[in-house]
Amino acid sequence: MCVFNTKENNYPEGVQVVKDKLKTAGVVIEKEDDLGDRNLAYMLGKETRGHYHLFTFQSSQDIFTKLDEQLKLQVQLMRQTHPTCLLYTSPSPRD
């Protein structure tokens, strides 16, 4: 899950940055949900609200770890959230 700062109005740009990072890593996004502006569970600095966006995808743990590190550097994200940005799902077994 990604949480964007609502006061900076950078949600569309931030979502595109995350999508680009996922595509560059070779990840296929299965589903996206814009969950909108919500109250944070606790204050992050002086912020009490964030814009939530959920990405669901499958990847290996190695790719997830690398993406997590890269996305921590994105200014559009409220980086203090944990996990930083991604919902990890392990690959489904093939029949």
* pLDDT tens figures, 27-58: 888 899 999 999 988 887 888 888 899 888 87
Number of Cβ within a 10 Å radius of residue 74 = 18
Q: How many CA atoms, within 13 angstroms, populate the side-chain half-sphere of residue 55?
A: 26
Query: pTM to 2 decimals?
Result: 0.75
* pLDDT tens figures, 63-77: 877 887 888 777 667
To the nearest 10 degrees (0 to 180), the angle between helices 11-24 and 61-71 is 140
